Amino acid sequence: MAAVLRDEYGNPSSVHHFGQKAKAVIDEARSRVAELINADPSEVVFTSGGTESDNTAIRGAAEALEPAGRRQLVASTIEHEAVLNTLKALGRRGYEVAWLGVGESGVMDPEALRALVGDRTAVVSVMHANNEVGTIQPIAELAAVAKACGAVVHVDAVQSAGKIPLDVKTLGADLVSISAHKFYGPKGVGALWIRRGVRLVATSTGGRHERGRRAGTENVDGIVGMGVAARLARSHQTGEPARLAGLRDRLEEGILRAVSGTVVNGQRDRRVPNTSNISFDRVEAESLLIGLDLAGIAVSTGSACSSGTLEPSHVLKAMGFPPHRTQNSIRFSLGAANTEDDIDRTIAVLPGIVEKLRNLTRSPVRA
């Protein structure tokens, strides 16, 4: 990225050699991102991140199908805010919005989707892996239900791309969103895979950048960083997922054994390997987060995009958990730099912090 900022300063839309050199590094990055998700490079459109990719997909497909009388949009209740708030905004513009619920497993049911969709459905948007509890959804089955009624299928794969193998050709989707920083690329750059033949109305108007699908001069250095990150993520997919799953399981077993009143949220045998969401009874999640942070351990209470709010987790709420469960849960995210020593230190430090916080409440432990 530093070399591109220094040396490839041409505008990739320019025909002179400075511009063509910049275009060449973008094309190389596009090929690397396409390889990560088993796509054709011509189907990859660069964006500013997952949120823009989600908006481009949902709004663009909805507008393209509106003349055909398809004005229903469907998404699950555990989607990222980038999808939830986009559907809510379109609902205020007159679109019919239907929500697909989930149970305590955090996994969507294709038969429940079948009951929602019909010949007025324009877009069905479902996430590949949930960003708070990590559950992986049965995308192929959900897509088959949506396709049977003629809907366009969008998959938010921001939490899965680069973490587990992702093949857009077998998902059954028409549109797939990914984001670079989820697999160690730079923040502020992402991509949208658009299946050949799927029509979108451009949500940003201007020049003919990205084959007319996303106007605006390309973020060359960010795109190059995403390409390198995609290449590295692909090269690590043989052993890294299993290593992370082992660390996650070690963490969960240690916490459940050492701290009473704890439970793992979501279906444990159907998750991305790096994510664990655990509820701690009689402990406020924000206080536990601060206590761990002071000990040098970084965790979260949910999506980073929802930080700064005291609202309970909308994901756990949608899964049907009671209020106390939605407000006492911590998300542990593991990555390439984590080791068994990190896990063991967390297990050693955590009980004392939890005991201290519980002593402040002095109420009985819920079953």
Catalytic positions are: 305
Q: Give CA–CA dist 74/342, Å, rounded.
A: 41
Pick the closest to residue 131 from 29, 274, 241 (CA basis). Answer: 274
Dig out the tokens for 41 from the structure: 């490079």
Q: Are 80 and 56 in contact (CB under 8 A)?
A: no
Give the Å distances, CA to CA, from 38 to 24, 167, 176: 21, 5, 12
Q: Are 34 and 43 in contact (CB under 8 A)?
A: yes
- Which helix (H) or strand (E) segment holds residue 140: the answer is helix 139-148
Q: Give CA–CA dist 182/110, Å, rounded.
A: 27
Q: Which residues have a Cβ under 8 Å from the Cβ of 199 and sit 6 or more positions away?
A: 61, 64
Cβ neighbours of 24 (radius 10 Å):
12
Pick the closest to residue 44 from 164, 161, 147 (CA basis). Answer: 161
Q: Are 213 and 56 in contact (CB under 8 A)?
A: yes
